Amino acid sequence: MRGSYKKRAPSPVYSSPNQLSFEGFETPFEQQLDLNNRWVFLARNIPWDRIVGVYDKVFSSAEGRKPLSGRLVLGSLMIKHLCKLSD
């Protein structure tokens, strides 16, 4: 008898914040972000392209599960430390 196979959701793909955008094609969520929010301000001022480039070089193995988005991982760690949260 074969073991059950669980299909996993695809890993998110990093998209640069410097990617071209078109006026009028924003999602409702993007249109409602408060630019004065501390997290929005922080996210806009972090050089994600450079940071994620280094992260992707370290975790670029062809074996095993694909790594999570570098922006997701590093952003989560930043929030954890800035909010002084524990593991």
In a domain, 51, yes or no: yes
72: in domain: yes
* Total domains present in the chain: 1
Domain assignment present for residue 17? The answer is no
Helix 48-58 × helix 70-82 angle, to 10°: 110
Give the Cα separation of 46 and 44 in Å (integer). Answer: 6
Residue 73 lies in a domain: yes
With 80 as the cut, is the pLDDT of residue 7 above it? no
- Measure Cα distances from 10 to 13, 53, 67, 68, 69 in Å: 9, 20, 11, 10, 11
pLDDT at 35: 84
Is residue 78 domain-resident? yes
Instruction: Enter the tokens of residue 16.
Output: 């640069």
Q: Residue 11 has what pLDDT?
A: 58
48: in domain? yes
Residue 46 sits in which domain range? 29-58+67-82
Q: What is the mean pLDDT of residues 3-17?
A: 62
Residue 69 has pLDDT above 80, yes or no: yes
pTM to 2 decimal places: 0.59
Please state the φ and ψ torsions of residue 53, each to the nearest 5 degrees. Answer: -60, -45
Model pLDDT for residues 32-54, shown as the tens digit of each residue: 778 899 998 998 899 988 988 88
